[in-house]
Amino acid sequence: MTENENDVNLIERFNNGDESAFNEIAKKYQQRIYWHARRMTGNHLDADEIVQEVLLVMYRKIKTFNFRSSLYTWIYTITTTRSINFIKRRSLKQAFSLHDVENDQKSETDVITDLESKEEVKRLENFLQYIPAKQREVFILRAIDGLSYKEISEITGRSEGGLKSNYFHALRKLTEMMKNE
Protein backbone atom coordinates (compact mmCIF):
# COMPACT_ATOMS: atom_id res chain seq x y z
CA MET A 1 0.00 0.00 0.00
CA THR A 2 1.43 3.42 -0.98
CA GLU A 3 1.57 6.32 1.46
CA ASN A 4 -1.29 8.03 -0.36
CA GLU A 5 -3.45 4.91 -0.33
CA ASN A 6 -2.75 4.51 3.35
CA ASP A 7 -3.87 8.11 3.98
CA VAL A 8 -7.05 7.58 1.98
CA ASN A 9 -7.76 4.45 4.01
CA LEU A 10 -7.21 6.30 7.31
CA ILE A 11 -9.48 9.17 6.29
CA GLU A 12 -12.24 6.76 5.21
CA ARG A 13 -11.96 4.93 8.51
CA PHE A 14 -12.19 8.19 10.44
CA ASN A 15 -15.16 9.37 8.37
CA ASN A 16 -16.87 6.08 9.18
CA GLY A 17 -16.54 6.80 12.88
CA ASP A 18 -13.20 5.19 13.75
CA GLU A 19 -11.62 7.79 16.06
CA SER A 20 -8.37 5.81 16.31
CA ALA A 21 -7.77 6.51 12.61
CA PHE A 22 -7.39 10.19 13.43
CA ASN A 23 -4.82 9.34 16.10
CA GLU A 24 -2.84 7.45 13.46
CA ILE A 25 -2.98 10.38 11.04
CA ALA A 26 -1.89 12.78 13.78
CA LYS A 27 0.99 10.55 14.87
CA LYS A 28 2.13 10.15 11.29
CA TYR A 29 2.34 13.88 10.60
CA GLN A 30 2.92 15.45 14.03
CA GLN A 31 6.70 15.73 13.64
CA ARG A 32 6.47 17.50 10.30
CA ILE A 33 3.87 19.89 11.73
CA TYR A 34 5.96 20.55 14.83
CA TRP A 35 9.23 21.19 13.06
CA HIS A 36 7.69 23.46 10.45
CA ALA A 37 5.92 25.46 13.16
CA ARG A 38 9.06 25.54 15.28
CA ARG A 39 11.25 26.88 12.47
CA MET A 40 8.63 29.45 11.62
CA THR A 41 8.17 30.68 15.20
CA GLY A 42 11.68 30.05 16.52
CA ASN A 43 10.72 28.39 19.79
CA HIS A 44 9.18 25.24 21.25
CA LEU A 45 6.21 26.71 23.15
CA ASP A 46 4.78 28.60 20.16
CA ALA A 47 5.33 25.56 17.93
CA ASP A 48 3.52 23.37 20.44
CA GLU A 49 0.56 25.76 20.45
CA ILE A 50 0.44 25.66 16.64
CA VAL A 51 0.58 21.84 16.63
CA GLN A 52 -2.50 21.70 18.84
CA GLU A 53 -4.28 24.27 16.66
CA VAL A 54 -3.44 22.34 13.48
CA LEU A 55 -4.69 19.05 14.95
CA LEU A 56 -7.93 20.72 15.95
CA VAL A 57 -8.43 22.14 12.43
CA MET A 58 -7.59 18.74 10.91
CA TYR A 59 -10.06 17.03 13.21
CA ARG A 60 -12.86 19.43 12.31
CA LYS A 61 -12.16 19.68 8.57
CA ILE A 62 -10.92 16.26 7.59
CA LYS A 63 -14.46 15.26 6.59
CA THR A 64 -14.30 17.95 3.90
CA PHE A 65 -10.93 16.73 2.54
CA ASN A 66 -11.63 16.01 -1.14
CA PHE A 67 -8.47 14.04 -2.12
CA ARG A 68 -7.61 16.61 -4.82
CA SER A 69 -4.19 16.93 -3.22
CA SER A 70 -2.20 14.58 -1.04
CA LEU A 71 -2.97 14.58 2.67
CA TYR A 72 0.47 15.89 3.60
CA THR A 73 0.03 18.87 1.20
CA TRP A 74 -3.29 19.60 2.89
CA ILE A 75 -1.74 19.34 6.36
CA TYR A 76 1.19 21.54 5.31
CA THR A 77 -1.28 24.12 4.02
CA ILE A 78 -3.02 24.21 7.40
CA THR A 79 0.32 24.34 9.21
CA THR A 80 1.77 27.16 7.11
CA THR A 81 -1.42 29.22 7.35
CA ARG A 82 -1.65 28.72 11.10
CA SER A 83 2.03 29.54 11.55
CA ILE A 84 1.79 32.78 9.55
CA ASN A 85 -1.35 33.79 11.45
CA PHE A 86 0.32 32.97 14.74
CA ILE A 87 3.35 35.09 13.86
CA LYS A 88 1.08 38.02 12.97
CA ARG A 89 -0.77 37.69 16.28
CA ARG A 90 2.53 37.44 18.16
CA SER A 91 3.91 40.55 16.46
CA LEU A 92 0.82 42.48 17.48
CA LYS A 93 1.12 41.20 21.04
CA GLN A 94 4.78 42.17 21.18
CA ALA A 95 4.03 45.63 19.84
CA PHE A 96 1.73 46.30 22.80
CA SER A 97 3.74 44.43 25.43
CA LEU A 98 6.02 46.24 27.86
CA HIS A 99 7.69 43.15 29.32
CA ASP A 100 9.63 40.43 27.63
CA VAL A 101 9.14 37.87 30.41
CA GLU A 102 7.11 35.60 28.16
CA ASN A 103 9.87 35.50 25.55
CA ASP A 104 12.48 34.68 28.18
CA GLN A 105 10.36 31.76 29.31
CA LYS A 106 9.93 30.61 25.70
CA SER A 107 13.65 30.58 25.02
CA GLU A 108 14.27 28.53 28.18
CA THR A 109 11.69 25.82 27.44
CA ASP A 110 12.82 23.20 24.96
CA VAL A 111 12.46 19.51 24.18
CA ILE A 112 15.73 19.00 22.31
CA THR A 113 17.78 16.57 24.36
CA ASP A 114 21.29 17.06 22.99
CA LEU A 115 22.84 20.28 24.30
CA GLU A 116 25.01 20.87 21.23
CA SER A 117 22.10 20.36 18.86
CA LYS A 118 19.98 22.62 21.03
CA GLU A 119 22.46 25.48 20.71
CA GLU A 120 22.84 24.97 16.97
CA VAL A 121 19.09 24.82 16.39
CA LYS A 122 18.59 27.97 18.47
CA ARG A 123 21.29 29.77 16.52
CA LEU A 124 19.78 28.90 13.14
CA GLU A 125 16.20 29.48 14.29
CA ASN A 126 17.30 32.89 15.46
CA PHE A 127 18.65 33.73 11.98
CA LEU A 128 15.38 32.61 10.44
CA GLN A 129 13.44 35.06 12.59
CA TYR A 130 15.21 37.97 10.88
CA ILE A 131 13.80 37.26 7.43
CA PRO A 132 10.20 38.03 6.39
CA ALA A 133 7.71 35.28 7.26
CA LYS A 134 6.77 34.55 3.63
CA GLN A 135 10.44 34.12 2.63
CA ARG A 136 11.08 32.08 5.76
CA GLU A 137 8.19 29.80 4.90
CA VAL A 138 9.52 29.06 1.41
CA PHE A 139 13.07 28.63 2.65
CA ILE A 140 12.03 26.10 5.31
CA LEU A 141 9.86 24.11 2.91
CA ARG A 142 12.54 24.06 0.22
CA ALA A 143 15.90 23.98 2.00
CA ILE A 144 15.02 21.97 5.12
CA ASP A 145 11.91 19.95 4.27
CA GLY A 146 13.16 19.37 0.72
CA LEU A 147 9.84 19.98 -1.06
CA SER A 148 9.74 20.87 -4.76
CA TYR A 149 8.60 24.31 -5.90
CA LYS A 150 5.50 22.65 -7.38
CA GLU A 151 4.58 21.19 -3.99
CA ILE A 152 5.30 24.49 -2.23
CA SER A 153 3.14 26.25 -4.79
CA GLU A 154 0.27 23.85 -4.03
CA ILE A 155 0.70 24.45 -0.30
CA THR A 156 1.04 28.23 -0.36
CA GLY A 157 -1.04 29.03 -3.45
CA ARG A 158 1.77 31.21 -4.80
CA SER A 159 3.41 31.05 -8.25
CA GLU A 160 6.57 28.99 -8.67
CA GLY A 161 8.40 32.03 -10.10
CA GLY A 162 7.61 34.09 -7.02
CA LEU A 163 8.60 31.24 -4.73
CA LYS A 164 12.00 30.84 -6.42
CA SER A 165 12.63 34.54 -6.03
CA ASN A 166 11.57 34.47 -2.34
CA TYR A 167 13.76 31.45 -1.70
CA PHE A 168 16.85 33.04 -3.16
CA HIS A 169 16.29 36.32 -1.31
CA ALA A 170 16.02 34.34 1.94
CA LEU A 171 19.17 32.36 1.16
CA ARG A 172 21.14 35.52 0.37
CA LYS A 173 19.99 37.30 3.56
CA LEU A 174 20.76 34.30 5.76
CA THR A 175 24.21 33.90 4.17
CA GLU A 176 24.99 37.57 4.79
CA MET A 177 23.87 37.32 8.42
CA MET A 178 25.99 34.23 8.98
CA LYS A 179 29.02 35.93 7.46
CA ASN A 180 28.61 38.86 9.87
CA GLU A 181 28.00 36.62 12.85
CA nearest to 63, candidates 52, 53, 73, 74 = 74
Q: Which is nearer to other proteins, 32 or 90 (CB)?
A: 32
Classified as helix, coil or strand, 131 is coil
Q: From residue 107 to residue 146, what is the string marking binding to other proteins with x (rule CB under 8 A)? A: ----xxxx--x--xx--x--------------x---xxxx
| By the rule CB under 8 A, 168 interacts with other proteins | yes
84 vs 80: CA distance, rounded Å? 6
**Rounded (5°) CA angle 152-49-157:** 20
| Binding range to other proteins, per CB under 8 A, among 65-73, 97-105, 129-137, 164-172 | 164-172
Asked if 36 and 50 count as a contact pair (C-beta separation under 8 A), the reply is no
Q: Which residues of the shown chain bind other proteins in the complex (CB under 8 A)?
A: 23, 26-27, 30-31, 34, 51-52, 55-56, 59, 111-114, 117, 120-121, 124, 139, 143-146, 164, 167-168, 171-172, 174-175, 178-179
